[in-house]
Each structure stands twice: as structure tokens, then as C-alpha cells.
Amino acid sequence: MRQNDEHILENEYNKSLGIAKNHYENFPVVSMFLPKKLRKHVATIYRFARTADDFADEGDISASDRLKLLADYEEKFSKCMNNEFSDLFFETLKNTIDTFNLSSENFTKLLSAFRQDVSNSRFENFDEIINYCSRSADPVGRIMLELSDNRNSDAIYYSDKICSALQLTNFYQDITIDIKKNRIYIPLEELISFGLSENDFKMNSNQAKIQELIKFQVERAFEMFAEGRQILPMLKGLFRLQISAIISGGETILNSIRNIDYESFRSRPKLTKVDYIRILIKVI
């Protein structure tokens, strides 16, 4: 690659860094714990997922139009894997994939989850939820492991636990947002087992039962984080601190839901500056 071409791609990487830093997430995508050499690559992967997620979620367009945007986006990704680039972003993405020998399957799994967001907003049981998490969240953890050159099967197992727990935490944090989009990310059979109907959940009726339902979901997610923490001895350096901070961020959100007596169906808990400081101290 010529020096001028490298400069052009570096500018595109910097654009991805800007996008990652300017989007709100529970824990910064590009944090101080992330090894510097990985930051632009993580930002590029985040931009890939964020763009697809926006196609599935943002704006006021029909479901068919959303699916078309996602199909076009996946076609661009497929072409980029064959070194056919629709724009500079996909060229940087392919450069990242080649540099770290990343599996393309993790990227296509993410796209399949975004398509499901458009076409299906109900889950009969927890296995269906976990299947969704295996495509919407787990691939991100697997990509991060590949970025750190860790392809250990045990590490992958614990990474999946962490990522699924993070996805579940996001569901319980975003109940008020998802209901407005007519989405319920709690198994319908579990609503029924707690004596609730879908309409109760939408209308916030039988609130005591809803609190018990959310408590059950939160405690299960805590257990998944606890199991996932077994990955930490398998990680090294700043990357280990990054993952520890992400786990702590997820657990802090769950604790925030606990502290409001599981009433996240009334208001959305968020991490505060004090929370971030506590996480920083805990990790260090």
C-alpha cells in the first residue's frame, strides 16, 4: 500500500474513532483500558455494528425498507471480503479483518440479529433469547478475543456468558424504550409463569408481579456475569482490565435496577460519573 493510501485509510480510521467516542454506551467503546494498538480497529468494528443497528432501529421507515437497507449492507460486506469496496469504511474494515485474521462469520451473525430485530419482537422461552444473544452479542466478544489473539475454547465459552449477560442487562435497562417499539425481550412463557400477560407488561398493570419478574431476570444475569468472570485469568494486560471494566459496568447497571426496586419499567437507569469512578477503582 502506498504511503498516500495509508494516510487516507488512517483518516477513515480516525472517523470511526470519532463515531465510537460520540455515541453513548453503558461503557465507553474505546476506553483507557483498551490497548492503544487496538483502538482504531475496535472503533471500526463498532461502527460496522452501530450502522447496522441504526438501520434496524432508527428513523421512521417501514420494516421492508429496513430489511432492504440491511440486505444492501450485507452485500457490501460480502463484496468487501472479496476486496471489492463500496467506500473507504469497508476498506478499513477489511484491513482490520485481514490484520487480525478475524472470522467473517461473527460479522454476518450480527447482521442476522439486526434482521431479527425488524421481523420478530417476541420470544417464547429463554432458549430463544439466548439464541438471539448468540448472534446479537456473543460475536462481539469473540471478535475481541480474536483481536487479542486468544482463540481458547474455554475463553470463548466464558466470553459468550459475559456478552449474553450484557445483552440481557441492556434489555432490562431499556424496557421503557423497547415497549414503545412494541418489543418484549423477556420470554413470554416467563411472563405467564409470573401471572402476567403481555398486556400487563405493556400497561404496567400488576406492577408487583412485574417487579418480581424483573428481579428474576436480573438475578439470572448476575449469575451469568459471575460465571463469565472466569475468563479474566485467561486474559493479559490492559485487555484483561478492559473486560473486567465491561463486566463491572454491566453489574453496576443490574445493581441500579436492584436499587430502584426493579422498577426499570418506570424509568431507565444509567451509569453516572460516580459509577464510572467506582468501576475504575474496582478494576484497578
CATH 1.10.600.10 occupies which residues in the chain?
1-119, 121-284
At residue 32, the pLDDT reads: 67
Mark the ranges of the chain whose per-residue pLDDT is less than 50: 2-3
3-state secondary structure string across the chain: CCHHHHHHHHHHHHHHHHHHHHCCCCCCCCCCCCCHHHHHHHHHHHHHHHHHHHHHHCCCCCHHHHHHHHHHHHHHHHHHHCCCCCCHHHHHHHHHHHHHCCCHHHHHHHHHHHHHHHHCCCCCCHHHHHHHHHHHCHHHHHHHHHHCCCCCHHHHHHHHHHHHHHHHHHHHHCHHHHHHCCCCCCCHHHHHHCCCCHHHHHHCCCHHHHHHHHHHHHHHHHHHHHHHHHHHHHCCHHHHHHHHHHHHHHHHHHHHHHHCCCCCCCCCCCCCHHHHHHHHHHHC
At residue 242, the pLDDT reads: 87
pLDDT in tens, 113-168: 999 999 888 999 999 999 999 999 999 999 999 999 999 999 999 999 999 999 99
Structurally, at CATH architecture level, domain 121-284 sits in Orthogonal Bundle (1.10)
At residue 2, the pLDDT reads: 45
pTM of the model: 0.90
At residue 36, the pLDDT reads: 86
1-119: CATH, from 4.10.320.10, 3.90.550.10, 3.20.20.140, 1.10.600.10: 1.10.600.10
